[in-house]
Amino acid sequence: MNLNISKIKVAGLLGVTAALAGCTAGKQQERPNILFIMSDDHAYQAVSAYNEAIGKFAPTPNIDRIASEGMRFNRCLVANSICGPSRATILSGKYSHENGFIDNTFGSHFDFSQNTFARELQNSGYKTAVIGKLHLGGTPTGFDYYDILPGQGNYYNPDFINEDGQYRMEGYATEIIADKTIDYIDSVKDDGKPFMVMMWHKAPHRSWEPGPNELGMYEDVTFPEPATLFDDYSGGRTAASLNNMTIANTMTMQRDLKMTPVPGRRMNDEQTAKWEAVYGPIYEKYIRSDMSGDSLIRWKYQRYMRDFLACIAAVDKSVGKVLDYLEANGLAKNTIVIYTSDQGFYLGEHGWFDKRWMYEESERTPLLIKWPGVIKPGSVNDDLVSNLDFAETLIDVAGGKIPEDMQGASLVPILKGETPGDWRTAFYYHYYEHPSEHNVMRHYGITTDRYKLIHFYYDIDEWELFDLQEDPNEMKNVYGDPAYAEVQADLHRHLEELRAKYHDSDDLNQKFIDEYNEKVKENPGIEYWKLSAPDVQAPKH
């Protein structure tokens, strides 16, 4: 009799345990899945949800779905506008000088022993994965699964690296990365755990190689030129005048604009034939032409846009494919989808391509987030947010505790439509990589809703102040103008507060300069950066 009772008791206890386990699993599943999509160098001007001129000619309807079902951020600023450092900031929630990844040179490696949102989410029970371009060196940790491109990776028939080593895939990187993302989600969707998957594209990074399904798609389109395509870098902008990143002088005919009879881009015969069918006739026409001066710059700009935007078209299709997959599998309602780029990019503004500067097109990056049931569809936000905030946001979403060394803030209240009263009114920026490609001098500064104060502190020691309301294209440096004396003094005060808050300083700058210059000496092969830079002239008009 007693025996029977204890059997019943045991059975009852087991039932309770099973019920508790079910409850825990159910609670975990209530935490949203996260699909974090990032492209490389996707200018906000080329996301049609931002309503810029280019979007009308090259729409991104699938990326725009995230905006129409969620929130579009108009002022998402990056801490350091260049690939590796930006990714390091995103993972760590810290500025470059704190996470240790300050530039892309000399085999920079991210220190994965520090806190990252991936590790925090993995520890809290998320299935975590990174697929595509990580570009941080070393072996990524904090991920249950990784399948990444080595370094910059290739557009065509790219190599990937996973736990088993490096291997080659046939096909186009953007399409492969989307398929791998869907395959991974499909493999974990029934595990009873939420997932956090990073689909990080290589596209549309230089040298803008369109995929086989988008080659030539914009050949009949003439894109509108930006107002500053023929910038002469007057207006007190010395650093800009010393640049080496113009469409006119820096963009190459061969590598960048494909004006060569041999593609040499890892293609198979079929891919080569498709490529040649588009670029062959353009090349033939180009070598017979005698374009020069402004007409050549205009021609180069159109070629650049056609290639860049065709790369974006594949990215947009990939976004559509994964969004459709989530919907078809009942996952869309409980999945946050983030779309961003590692920084902004110049699409001919100031005559440039590339990034790096604290000027608007490169400091600002697209950010669109949808979170069904939390974000009001079609929301637009003008707060100063940053890639410094992404790690904190994702940890907050997962119900975790934000590590104290992270320097940004969770966007969750903003996503709910409730910007905190003490939200930042100025954002700190710091770029380091100099001397190097494109000759962008080291600089730091702050951005507010209306002004920018920038200090080019190395090689030249000059301050710049821009009034974005009066001068949205940042053409006239008003630093020292008596009309701005009060504004300037306030900005200086605010800048020093932020430098102290984030533990940045002149001493730290000097330390990084000394370390960098030591490496330059040890690597004579890269001396050409320094030697070529002062000879670069602004285009004459």
Chain positions contacting Ca ion, by CB under 5 A: 40-41, 83, 342
Q: Closest approach of Cβ 312 to Ca ion, in Å? A: 14
Burial class (CB in 10 A: 0-12, 13-18, 19+), 143: buried
Using Cβ positions, the residue closest to Ca ion within the complex turns out to be 83
Phi first, then psi, for residue 145 (nearest 5°) are -150, 135
Q: Is 467 helix (H, G, I), strand (E, B) or coil?
A: strand
**Residue 367, beta-bridge partner list:** 73, 340
Rounded Cα distance, 361 and 353, in Å: 10
Residue 97 or 135: the one with the smaller Cβ distance to Ca ion is 135
Residue 87 or 443: the one with the smaller Cβ distance to Ca ion is 87
Q: Closest approach of Cβ 104 to Ca ion, in Å? A: 9
Rounded Cα distance, 368 and 37, in Å: 10
Q: Closest approach of Cβ 206 to Ca ion, in Å? A: 9
Rounded Cα distance, 480 and 464, in Å: 9
H or E segment at 520? Answer: helix 506-522
Residue 83 or 248: the one with the smaller Cβ distance to Ca ion is 83
- The token pair at 244 is 């080496």
Q: Closest approach of Cβ 84 to Ca ion, in Å? A: 8
Q: Closest approach of Cβ 41 to Ca ion, in Å? A: 4
Residue 251 or 475: the one with the smaller Cβ distance to Ca ion is 251
Q: Closest approach of Cβ 82 to Ca ion, in Å? A: 7
- The token pair at 360 is 């608007």
Q: Closest approach of Cβ 134 to Ca ion, in Å? A: 12
Considering only CA atoms, which of 528, 205, 536, 532 is closest in space to residue 351?
A: 536
Phi first, then psi, for residue 452 (nearest 5°) are -130, 135
Residue 353 or 456: the one with the smaller Cβ distance to Ca ion is 353
Rounded Cα distance, 237 and 133, in Å: 34
Cβ-contact 306, 221 below 8 angstroms: yes
Residue 353 or 516: the one with the smaller Cβ distance to Ca ion is 353
Cβ-contact 230, 351 below 8 angstroms: yes
- Relative to beta strand 33-39, strand 195-200 is parallel
Residue 40 or 147: the one with the smaller Cβ distance to Ca ion is 40
Helices (H), 249-389: 269-288, 293-328, 360-363
Q: Closest approach of Cβ 426 to Ca ion, in Å? A: 24
- The token pair at 195 is 């997932």
Residue 87 or 189: the one with the smaller Cβ distance to Ca ion is 87
